[in-house]
Amino acid sequence: MALTARAGLLGLISALGVGLLLPSWTGVLVGTGAILALCGIDLLTAGSIRSLTIVRKATGNVRLGEPAETTLVITNPGRRAVRGVLRDAWVPSAGAATDRHPLRVPAGERRSISTALLPTRRGDRRADRVTVRSLGRLGLAARQRSVDAGGVLRVLPPFHSRKHLPARLARLRELDGRRASLVRGAGTEFDSLREYVIGDDVRSIDWRATARAADVMVRTWRPERSQRVLIVLDTGRLSAGRVGDAPRLDAAMDATLLLSVLATQAGDRVDFLAVDRRVRASVPGAALPDTVNAMAPLEPELVETDYRLLTSEILRRARQRALVVLLTGLDSGAIRQGLLPVLPMLTARHRVVLGAVGDPAIGALAQGRDTVQAVYEAAAAERTLAERRELTRLLGTHGVQVVDAEPDQLPPRLSDMYLALKAGGTR
């Protein structure tokens, strides 16, 4: 039950009546009783909300930053029209512009009400209960009820690095093209023979074919297809740090998306894995929509990543040699005590690339010279950067290539690294 402002106004009018006409306790009793009686009658005339059915149409997915809409269908099987207000409550980050809607459903009919949403956070944004307030004929009192109509809006990562994709795909086609390979190494497949043109490496001349043909023939190779790429996302504490206005995890996701699209285009099989102390998400043979969907609800957890678990999961998934792209942070403690002890198991079987999100703020701090505090900050920043360089070097000695880049640079740099590996044919 709920009252409206009209009930209060009626109270003020009755005060006038009591004061002028019947200034006694009887007057107060009569005035108050009259208002309550009117409110009661009004409640009885209000359309029934108990029989109202509220169903939400499927809301679906939306990329972060794009608008969405959710629709409720309200059916009134009762004998009286339902007139009043409806509130479709969502969590604040779902970005509902206005969640209150006027409601008027005649008896036996149905109406749909749409709420515009503009989510401000990635992940599953849930609807709260739907509240209906049905006003009486006089507009003094209303019946009110909240029902759970369900509803989840899955907000997908935005894939900002999509803009880098055309250039990388062009490079991929170039690789795939009829260029004579320098070396006949592992990881390249024999493609075809063609005539020698100036500029081709003389080492790629196929002398047997030249002997059979009138011209000098060269062998061409193309990057091996159907390799396995395993992208591993560390969702532990290292991914929680906020760089700019998004956590490191979001930059890592962007890199994952760009890389998986590129690798899929290159004919490789991409698997996706997200781990901290347990496996958060796992998509084998990931098509892009599946990966995006699996990533959407991931949030950084404030726990130390279990690198032993991470390694065993990788080894369990990739039995043949694969390219393992590990997206984590360059933190001295975590790398030295967590990753390095288990790294040989990985590098023995797979090629490992480590992607880390650097913070431009640290670079800016390292430039500070104005005050004593700024210089101390610069020194601390330099020490951190030196540590990162040292870790990069250390990982290099274990055969791990490191891509340490700022959030917007990580996806293209990681893709370039992949293309370089592809071109080199090294596994």
Partner 1 sequence: MTRVWRAARLPVLIAVLLLLVVVLTVLLRGGVARPPLDPESYQRDGGRAVARLIADQGVRVVPARTLEDARREVRTAGGTLLVTAPDLLEPGVLAALVDESESDVVLVQPGPRALTALHLPVRIAGQVAESVREPDCTLPAARKAGRSTIAGLVYRGEPGSQSCYPAGEGAGLVRAERITVLSTGFANSLLDEEGNAALAMNLLGGGRTLVWFVPTPTDPGLGGGTKKFTDYLPDGWVFGGVQILVAVLLFGIWRARRLGPLVAERLPVTVRGAETVEGRARLYQRAGATDHAAAALRQATVDRLRPMLGQHGDEGLVAEVARRTGRTDIPELLYGSTTTEAELINLATELDAVENEVRRS
Q: Which of residues 301-340 bind partner 1 (CB under 8 A)?
A: 302
40 is a site residue for partner 1 (CB under 8 A): no
Selected from 243, 315, 342, 423, the binder of partner 1 by CB under 8 A is: 243
Q: Is 27 or 267 the residue whose CB approaches partner 1 more closely?
A: 27
Give how many residues touch partner 1 by CB under 8 A.
76
Hey, what are 390's tokens? 């040292």
Q: What distance in Å separates the CA atoms of residue 391 and residue 343, rounded to the nearest whole number?
A: 13
DSSP string, 246-262: EEHHHHHHHHHHHHHHH
351 exposed, middle or buried (CB, 10 Å; 0-12, 13-18, 19+)?
Answer: buried
89 is a site residue for partner 1 (CB under 8 A): yes
Q: Which of residues 134-193 bind partner 1 (CB under 8 A)?
A: 144, 146
Selected from 63, 111, 129, 269, the binder of partner 1 by CB under 8 A is: 129
Selected from 28, 138, 169, 209, the binder of partner 1 by CB under 8 A is: 28
11 is a site residue for partner 1 (CB under 8 A): yes
Sorted by sequence, the CB contacts under 8 Å of residue 136 that are 6+ apart come out as 41, 42, 43, 44, 45, 46, 142
Selected from 309, 345, 380, 394, the binder of partner 1 by CB under 8 A is: 380
Selected from 248, 280, 350, 388, the binder of partner 1 by CB under 8 A is: 248
Q: Is 237 or 317 the residue whose CB approaches partner 1 more closely?
A: 237
265 exposed, middle or buried (CB, 10 Å; 0-12, 13-18, 19+)?
Answer: middle
Q: Which of residues 250-309 bind partner 1 (CB under 8 A)?
A: 299-300, 302
Residue tagged 């991929």 (tokens): 172
343 exposed, middle or buried (CB, 10 Å; 0-12, 13-18, 19+)?
Answer: buried
Q: Which of residues 384-423 bind partner 1 (CB under 8 A)?
A: 384-386, 389
Q: Taking contact as CB under 8 A, which single stretch among the options 56-64, 126-134, 172-180, 205-213 is the one that binds partner 1?
A: 126-134
Residues 258/270, Cβ–Cβ less than 8 Å: no
Instruction: Provide the CA 61 distance to its chain's centre, in angstroms.
Output: 11
Residue ranges with strand state E in 136-186? 141-147, 152-156
Q: Are strands 279-283 and 61-63 parallel, antiparallel or unpaired?
A: unpaired
Residue 140 CB, shortest distance to partner 1, in Å, is 9
37 is a site residue for partner 1 (CB under 8 A): no
Q: Which of residues 345-374 bind partner 1 (CB under 8 A)?
A: 357, 359, 361-362, 365-366, 369, 371-373
23 is a site residue for partner 1 (CB under 8 A): yes
55 is a site residue for partner 1 (CB under 8 A): no
Residue 4 CB, shortest distance to partner 1, in Å, is 6
Hey, what are 116's tokens? 């515009």
Selected from 15, 107, 170, 183, the binder of partner 1 by CB under 8 A is: 15
Residue 332 CB, shortest distance to partner 1, in Å, is 10
Q: Is 38 or 423 the residue whose CB approaches partner 1 more closely?
A: 38
Residue tagged 């870790």 (tokens): 391
Q: Taking contact as CB under 8 A, which single stretch among the options 57-65, 128-136, 220-228, 255-263 is the one that binds partner 1?
A: 128-136
DSSP string, 32-87: HHHHHHHHHHHHHHSPPSSS-EEEEPP--EEETTS-EEEEEEEE--SSS-EEEEEE
Residue 382 CB, shortest distance to partner 1, in Å, is 4
